[in-house]
Amino acid sequence: MPKAQVNGATIAYEAHGEGEPLLLIHGAGVSRIEFRPQHEALSKQFRLIIPDVRGHGDSEITRAPYSMKLFADDMIGLLDVLGIPKVMVCGHSMGGTIGQQMAVDYPTRVQALILAETNYGLKSDPLLRAAGVIGDWMVGLIGIKRLIPMTARQLAAGSKEAEAMYLEAFAPQQANPANFMNISQANNNFDGKGQLHLIQCPTLVMIAERNRATHGMGRYMAKTIPGAQLMTIPKAGHGLNWDNTEAFNAAVLEFFIKVTYGS
């Protein structure tokens, strides 16, 4: 597996296909394997770059406090190593907050953006902020080794295949609870509501029909980001790219093909 020295850390990544570059950024605590259902369909049209975010998967764990700005800097550093001046970005969950930060901090590097089942910061939503605090409390109460299987079952929404993926993706976090808490704090501390209007690239906000927790923020992002579109993926929960792979892949292809080719 390729790895790159980026911004003081070793970042692991996969690359598939040829064509215009498309960066897929996974959610908190998991890894690049989250996007397995997208490899075949999307790589027929695009050059997929699928990294493990710092502190996740096969990328290096570092001690300094994590943040969306640090993760965004890492992604840009990886693009620099790969010689990619501009990229389309699809971020799921925390990956979407990283994508937002990239578009704000590096507007000339982000060609277009999909924000899938994400948020603009837990600080701006009392319920989600409380959920984050409760999650941290649960880690201390029952331990990460018991919490991860519970989280995997919840995210998988009945899919044994998705549950197995989440268990595999979360596995490295079990060995390092301090790193998991560092990731959690980065999520809890992100506050991007006030910078949404600075995102100037074509943007598609995706929400999942069955996860109402993201609907309010999703609608607000689509309303606030200039020219953004809003789409609901039917018959899907938070793991929408697994719950309804066909609809997710079709939406990603349609949006980025239109951005790339204008039709």
Give dist(CA 218, CA 210) in Å, integer.
Answer: 13
What size, in residues, is the chain?
Answer: 263
Whether residue 223 contacts residue 199, with contact meaning beta carbons closer than 8 Å, is answered with no
Mean of the per-residue pLDDT values of the chain = 92
Give dist(CA 16, CA 12) in Å, integer.
Answer: 14
Of 124, 150, 126, residue with least CA distance to 138: 150
The two structure tokens encoding residue 54 = 């710092």
The domains found in the chain, sorted by start residue, are 3-261 (3.40.50.1820)
Give percent above pLDDT 90 in the chain: 75
Mean pLDDT of 115-131: 81
Residue 140 CB-density burial (10 A; 0-12 exposed, 13-18 middle, 19+ buried): exposed
| Tens-digit pLDDT profile for residues 43-69 | 999 999 999 999 999 999 999 999 999
| Tens-digit pLDDT profile for residues 61-106 | 999 999 999 999 999 999 999 999 999 999 999 999 999 999 999 9
